[in-house]
Amino acid sequence: MSTFWIDRPTFVTGGTGLLGWWLVKRLVEVGARVICLVRKRPSKAEFANAGLPAQTQQVEGDIRDQALLERIIGDRNVRTIMHVAAKAIVTDAIADPVPTLSVNIEGTWSLLEACRRTPGVEQILLASSDKAYGEAEQLPVDEKTPLQGLGPYEASKACADLIGHAYARAYGLPLAITRCGNFFGGGDLHWNRIVPGTIRTVLRGKRPVIRTDGLFVRDYFYIEDAAAAYLLLAEALAARPELRGQAFNFSNEERTTVLDIVSRIVRLMGSDLEPEVRGESSTEIREQLLSAEKARRLLGWSARYTLDEGLLHTIEWYKTFFERTEAGRAALAEA
């Protein structure tokens, strides 16, 4: 185990979200002193269920509050920052774009401006997304592919990504950018997402529903691999200044349709239920696939879990959640 993280003041924005709580969990395990920005004190979130409030410091506030961010970074002697706070539901962004644009874009410049004005920060990881690339002409996309996200969520991540590059270049901030595929793993309670929604539906003994034609291609990325990638990149950024201002794709590089991911889940759960493919139209990006060649070459990174292994771990997490927690039993029973 690396000693890099022992007692290291590490600030995680969005610490109660899916990626955030897995990051915090891993950072606590390696000995970091973790400070989390949260919108409200954690209660039923997996962050709380995992016992993380007692092992971390939490500060209530808004990611757009620059003055608060400066106080957190300065008063707590923050050395490493992982900025993963975001409005991340694509359908919500389409229905009501302003909150997504505000949090994802203004939140990013507020944090980076706070870093610029507060000495001592040594590494900043900025979470972009594969969605920032938009509808690329060639797949898989690498880090040289232009950012051309056109939907509200996609555009917000592309803007935040470019703002990160600007602050790294203009002010020398020690920053690197991550672009990952669709996260999946335990703790995601957004049931409209395909992985948790399908698992819950199959456990109910019902046919999983695919609202599109099922042929949309996505880059599904297990959350524990994502958390490990963040820690690896932060350590590399500390040792190698030439990585500043660079972006890295992280992916298992497996071309997977929505129909295939649903079929895999059903098979791994030992069910013979056939998905209901409704064929409804969608405004989302049709095909996405990342190349992680740069991360393999420059960081020595590789995914620890295959897609099926990640899904098996995820299925087991939800089975335990639905069986052993009051919130899980309520979620399984709700209409």
Question: Hey, where are the domains in the chain?
Answer: 9-186+219-253+290-305, 194-215+255-284+309-330
Q: How many CB atoms lie within 10 A of CB 151?
A: 19
CB-side neighbour CA atoms (13 Å) of 190? 14
Give yes or no for residue 335 having a pLDDT over 70.
no
> Tens digits of per-residue pLDDT, 16-41?
999 999 999 999 999 999 999 998 76
Tell me the per-residue pLDDT of 234-259, one tens digit each, with 9 for 90 and over: 999 999 999 999 999 999 999 999 99
Look up residue 32 and give its two tokens: 């970091």
- Give the amino acid at 56: T
Q: For the chain, what percent of residues have pLDDT higher than 70?
A: 98
Cα distances (Å, whole numbers) of residue 88 to 93, 128, 157, 216, 241:
8, 11, 9, 19, 30
Per-residue pLDDT band for 292 (boundaries 50, 70, 90) equals very high
Q: Are 249 and 194 in contact (CB under 8 A)?
A: no
Q: What is the mean pLDDT of residues 149-164?
A: 96
Q: Tell me, what amino acid is at 202?
A: V
Q: Residue 76 pLDDT more than 80?
A: yes
Is pLDDT of 144 > 80?
Answer: yes
Q: Judge whether residue 43 has pLDDT over 90.
A: no
Judged by average pLDDT, the poorest of 122-131, 170-179, 275-284 is: 275-284
Determine the pLDDT at residue 64: 97
pLDDT for residue 183? 96
- Are 145 and 163 in contact, with CB atoms under 8 Å apart? no
Q: Using one digit for the tens of pLDDT, what is the confidence trace for 220-233?
A: 999 999 999 999 99
In percent, the amount of the chain with pLDDT more than 90 equals: 87
For residue 124, with 0-12 CB atoms within 10 Å meaning exposed, 13-18 middle and 19 or more buried, which class applies? buried
CATH architecture under which domain 9-186+219-253+290-305 falls: 3-Layer(aba) Sandwich (3.40)
Gap between the Cα atoms of 179 and 157, Å rounded: 10
Mean pLDDT over 267-282 rounds to: 92
Distance CA 168, CA 329 (A): 46
What average pLDDT score do residues 113-135 get? 96
- The model's confidence at residue 302, banded by pLDDT at 50, 70 and 90, is very high
191-211 residue pLDDT tens: 999 999 999 999 999 999 999
Residue 156 pLDDT class (50, 70, 90 cuts): very high
Query: For 257-285, what is the mean pLDDT?
Result: 93
Q: What is the mean pLDDT of the chain?
A: 94
Give the pLDDT of residue 283: 80
| Burial letters 153-168, b for 16+ CB under 10 A, else e | bbbbbbbbbbbbbebb
Rounded-to-integer distance, Cα 31 and Cα 327, Å = 30
What are the angstrom distances between the C-alpha of 170 and each of 73, 74, 264? 21, 22, 46
pTM: 0.95
d(CA 152, CA 137): 20
Residue positions annotated with a catalytic role:
153
Say how far apart CA 155 and CA 277 lie, in whole Å. Answer: 29
Q: Report the relative pairing of strands 247-250 and 175-180 from DSSP bridges.
A: parallel
Inform me whether the pLDDT recorded for 6 exceeds 80: yes
pLDDT > 70? residue 1: no
Judged against a pLDDT cut of 60, whether residue 147 lies above it is answered with: yes
- Alpha carbon dihedral 133, 298, 229, 163, in 10-degree steps, equals -40
Cα–Cα distance for residue pair 4/326, rounded to 1 Å: 38
Please give the average per-residue pLDDT across 93-116, as a whole number: 97
Given a contact cutoff of 8 angstroms between Cβ atoms, the answer to whether 120 and 154 are in contact is: no
What's the CATH number for 194-215+255-284+309-330?
A: 3.90.25.10
